[in-house]
Structure 1
Amino acid sequence: MNPQEDGDKLTVTGRLVKILIHRREDRGMSVDEWASRCVRSGEVHELVTTDQHDTTTGARVDRVGFLGFVEISEAGVVDRGDPVVIDGKRVGSVLGFDSCHFPNHYNILIAVDATVTGRELGLTPDMKVSIGPQP
């Protein structure tokens, strides 16, 4: 995100539609070159935590915890650094994107201190998700 180019924006909102409960130490995702991605209402994207914080294009991301899939209800722009809040609790911030499954969905990589799964956070379907500016 470049503060000289970016202005105010709306928060992207959605709801969890599937909870994931696994983690990997050898996932082999890679950070896309883009610092932002547009998401549309009705799209479904995967939320993935990682304690690897390298945002260099192509950086390998092996240590991950899978949170689940979010259905986007309010379209918008997701930027690197945006806070990710689920059910009113901050989970982490957007590290970047892995598009190995695109156009089916993006993996939205979330920077955290220690990887965590949806089960470990007690997530359930229909919990509210917001990505971006928080009130």
Structure 2
Amino acid sequence: MTDSKTLGVGSNDPYLSGVTPDRPDMAHRAIEGRMVAVSARSHDARGLSLIPQRTRCLRRYDIHELIVTDESGQGSGDTVDRVAYLGFFEITSGGLLIQGDELLIADQMIGSVIGFDETHLPNHLNIVVSAAQRESGRASGLTLNDPVIFQPVWNN
């Protein structure tokens, strides 16, 4: 039988047990990268399951997917249906990504991170961003090698 201690979830997980605050209060540097693929797709009933954890570490050279939604009030543990795919980016300077950090691509403010979906792990992480407009990367005018920055909203 598998229990929460075996899986590393439940009472051992600081997010699920309430030990970690809603917004972790730590200074962290910006994460930087470059677009390696630009998408033209969107979906109205995607069913992305945002994990309860509000932080993820992103390592240099890893590639992850950027997804936007115009659904309001979504966050950790919620399901997101209305999405548009921006594309994939490669990390050039890794770090800690915290829910609420802002995504800029080619100096354009895209929106704020609302959560993470692990459907495709270990291949890549889906990073879900709340945006005013649900537009794909192509519709937003993104191009290959555009600079990607996750800017912390709080730092000391």
TM-score range, shorter chain: over 0.9
**CA-CA distance at 1:44 after TM superposition:** 0.2
Alpha-carbon distance in structure 2 between the residues aligned to 1:17 and 1:102: 18
**Which of 57, 69, 75 is the equivalent residue of 1:55?**
75
Q: TM-score, normalised by structure 2?
A: 0.80
SS in 2 for 1:93: strand
Alpha-carbon distance in structure 2 between the residues aligned to 1:84 and 1:42: 18
Q: TM-score, normalised by structure 1?
A: 0.92
Alpha-carbon distance in structure 2 between the residues aligned to 1:2 and 1:28: 26
> Retained in 2: the 8 A contact 1:79–1:132?
no
Counterpart of 1:104 in structure 2 is 123
Alpha-carbon distance in structure 1 between the residues aligned to 2:40 and 2:23: 39
Alpha-carbon distance in structure 1 between the residues aligned to 2:32 and 2:118: 20
Quick check: which has more Rg, 1 or 2? 2
Counterpart of 2:11 in structure 1 is none
For the aligned residue pairs, the C-alpha RMSD in angstroms reads: 1.7
> Retained in 1: the 8 A contact 2:76–2:115?
no
> Retained in 1: the 8 A contact 2:35–2:144?
yes
Distance 1:33 1:126, change over 3 A: same
SS in 2 for 1:92: strand
Deviation by residue 1:91-115 (Cα, 9 ceiling, x = unmatched): 0010100000011111000001231
Higher strand fraction (1 or 2): 1
For residues 1-135 of structure 1, what are the structure 2 equivalents within 5 Å?
A: 2=21, 5-52=24-71, 53-57=73-77, 59-133=78-152
**CA-CA distance at 1:5 after TM superposition:** 4.8
Q: Aligned residue pairs: how many?
A: 133
Alpha-carbon distance in structure 2 between the residues aligned to 1:131 and 1:2: 21
Higher relative contact order (CA 8 A, sep 6+): 1
Higher helix fraction (1 or 2): 2
**CA-CA distance at 1:4 after TM superposition:** 8.1
